[in-house]
Amino acid sequence: MTTTCTHLDQVHDVKPRTPQGCEECLKTTSHQQPITGHEAWPALPLTEWQDTYATLHRWVQIVGKTRLALAPMQNHWWQVVLYVTTRGLATSPMPVGDRLVDVEFDFLDHRLVVRTSDGDVRTLPLEACSVADF
């Protein structure tokens, strides 16, 4: 049976940590509960993150439009897809002149990372801003 901490919101700050939760909770079985179905994911009510949703939606649209302009056309518009990564969402490499560029939304470090095939890396903090400031 898979178990985890009952205080998941605090697990990231507790050391040492195991895949099942913090060591403190693993020592006492009274704090462990089985993970079933939807309980593995925290509640995410839209009203609590509406501003983040709107900002992220704008940023993704900008990256998608950039991808649409740079990536070669594929059937069903597959060239504009963002892929799930271990840190967030990312594009595949896109041709720009004689080099490639990729873009990653790094949700762990709260930044947008743009990398080129010649080693250049640029970042922007993921924070609310107007499209003009982007």
Question: Is residue 114 domain-resident?
Answer: yes
Same-domain pairing of 119 and 63: yes
Same-domain pairing of 64 and 101: yes
Question: Is residue 55 domain-resident?
Answer: yes
C-beta neighbour count of 22 within 10 angstroms: 21
Domain count, the chain: 2
Report residue 14's pLDDT band, with 50, 70 and 90 as the boundaries. very low
Same-domain pairing of 51 and 116: yes
Question: Is residue 134 domain-resident?
Answer: no
**pLDDT tens digits for 28-79?**
544 455 556 656 677 888 999 888 888 899 999 999 999 999 998 889 888 8
Question: Does the pLDDT at position 110 exceed 90?
Answer: yes
User: What is the residue range of 25's domain?
Assistant: 3-40
Question: Does the pLDDT at position 124 exceed 80?
Answer: yes
Chain centroid, CA 64 distance in Å: 15
